[in-house]
Amino acid sequence: MSSKSRSAGSASVKDQRFATLLQRFAPQIAWLRRRLSPGEYFSLQLAAGALLFAGAAWVLGGITQDVIEGDVLAAVAEGVAWLALCYVAVTTLWQRRKRRLLN
């Protein structure tokens, strides 16, 4: 058996496996195609939102893991969060005073 016939045989086996997978998961593939098609109602937005949510959950999980392990980056993130909280508090106070002065 030559190497050429072996590679042709293994290619046909791979094609057969791929065809079997496509046939097995045909409903799921059709659903995914409908979700990602721009013509469907909110399909692309839904898919993008789901991906964004999954990415945010992954990042939040990583930050949580760093906090639990006491990583240095978590301490830096805590400092940044404190600064952001202070910024929000100060700007909120300024906005309230501005509204009182204008009314």
The rounded distance, in Å, linking the Cα atoms of 29 and 35 is 10
pLDDT digits (tens, 9 = 90+) for 40-64: 777 778 778 889 999 999 999 988 8
For the entire predicted model, the pTM comes to 0.41
The rounded distance, in Å, linking the Cα atoms of 102 and 96 is 10
CA angle 39/41/44 to nearest 5° reads 70
- pLDDT of 26: 93
What percentage of the chain reaches a pLDDT higher than 70? 89
